[in-house]
Amino acid sequence: MCSLENKVAIVTGSSRGIGEAIARNFLTAGASVVINGRDQQRLEETASMLRGCGFEKVAAVAADVSKSSDVTRLFDMTLERFGRLDILVNNAGVVKNSLLARMDEQEWDWVLENNLKSAYLCTRRASRILMKQKSGRIINISSVVALGGNPFQSNYAASKSGLDGMMMATAKELAPYGVTVNSVAPGYIVTDMTRDLPEAAIQEILHFIPLHRAGTVDEVAHAVRFLAADESAYITGQVIQVDGGRVIR
């Protein structure tokens, strides 16, 4: 069920957290996976950990996917190593919280470049490959913040809303070629970033989640794996929420 045998995937921003969980889940399903991040040392540590778990079909490519030249190198190295590409997961992203009235242009631009421009650059390159072979999957990691907003995260909300808008447009463009494009929108997920929140803040967040608990990176990864597999072939242009019911529409 949901096998990815003989598939090749690129997962951006996958040296830790949700991205690493997606990469590990893909490897478990039989895929060859290129993990990516800016920090070469952290990336190699993650690759070594995955190989230590018995996953040999993993490659690590350090690249800043907000830069066109780095994206070209990432995709060229993937094709050189594995000979093809079937799945792209746009997971790379950053957060820089601030009240909009006090947010400077650098904070706005940095988040939009890392969260939205990076996905545009990677999707553009992947599209050219997947259109030729008339098959493939592109999956964006969005956020429920794109659906309901969040104080102090106007730049993040804008980047993720833009990501979903781009997803819907490209889903229509690529559908005639047998390529599906979807988003997964996590809610409150336990990661290194959220684990250090004050207990009072955590309890306030949980109060608004119908399931009354945080999600896990593996629960997000399972949703991504489904969208990457053959079983999801008739799903495109959709935002799949993994949020415990936090945003119900």
Q: What is the pLDDT of residues 224-244, one digit of tens each?
A: 999 999 999 999 999 999 999
Confirm whether 130 is domain-assigned. yes
Confirm whether 210 is domain-assigned. no
Q: Give me 73's structure tokens.
A: 């190198």
Instruction: Indicate yes or no: pTM above 0.85.
Output: yes
Count of structural domains within the chain: 1
| pLDDT confidence of residue 42 | 95
Residues 6+ away with beta carbon under 8 Å from 234: none
How crowded is residue 201: how many other Cβ atoms within 10 Å of its Cβ?
10
Among 120, 156, 188, 234, the active-site one is: 156
With contact defined as beta carbons under 8 Å apart, do 224 and 9 qualify?
no
| pLDDT confidence of residue 135 | 98
Q: Give me 185's structure tokens.
A: 């929108």
Q: Residue 161 carries which DSSP code? A: H
Residues 6+ away with beta carbon under 8 Å from 194: 188, 214
Q: Give me 126's structure tokens.
A: 């992947």
Residue whose token pair is 């079909």: 57
Domain that holds residue 161: 8-188+216-242
Residue 156 annotated in active site: yes
The CATH number of whichever domain residue 33 belongs to comes to: 3.40.50.720
Q: Give me 50's structure tokens.
A: 């995955």
Pick out the chain residues at pLDDT < 50.
Answer: none
Confirm whether 2 is domain-assigned. no
| pLDDT confidence of residue 2 | 87
Question: Within 13 Å, how many C-alpha atoms sit on residue 126's CB side?
Answer: 32
> Beta strands of 156-227 (E only): which ranges?
179-186
